[in-house]
Amino acid sequence: MGEPRHSARFDSYPDLLFSAMESVCQEPADTFRRYGRDDVECRSFLPPGPTASIIVQYDGTVDDLPQLVMRVRSRHDDPGYVVDFDTYLYVPRRAQAPVRVVHRSPQITSRINRLLQSAGGRPN
């Protein structure tokens, strides 16, 4: 399934956004990865109830639990930078390849846009 891509333009390098991503991804169920200066990801395990529902709905497995993924990538684009913010559920499955489950809603878009604005961006 396709990923929703939220994007914003920043006048300068979005240090604050990358720092915020790392600081909010510190819970025991979280894994923070930095793939490079311009690419970070936070993966979070979900509570037991939603996890069970997702496993049943998508033929998942208890050996490799689903995770909420938030990934931020930036690229230089005169003038300034463009940031892409992706969110999806990553669901490993028993007999098939993992699936990315995207849930697009006005509430999610609004929350991500507020985050991008508070870090100095102008959502597209």
Question: Is the four-CA dihedral 8, 70, 4, 97 of positive or negative sign?
Answer: positive
Question: What integer is the mean pLDDT of 54-60?
Answer: 96
Number of compact structural domains in the chain? 1
Residue 117 sits at φ, ψ, to 5 deg, of -65, -40
CA nearest to 14, candidates 111, 85, 69: 85
Q: Which of 12, 18, 76, 8 is nearest to 42 (CA)?
A: 18
Read off the CATH number of the domain in which 109 is found. Answer: 3.30.310
pLDDT surpasses 80 at 3: no
Q: Write out the residue range of the structural domain in which residue 48 sits.
A: 5-123
d(CA 6, CA 20): 17
Mean local confidence (pLDDT), 88-100: 95
Write down the pTM of the prediction: 0.89
Nearest residue to 113 via CA among 35, 2, 4: 4
Strands 30-36 and 5-10: unpaired
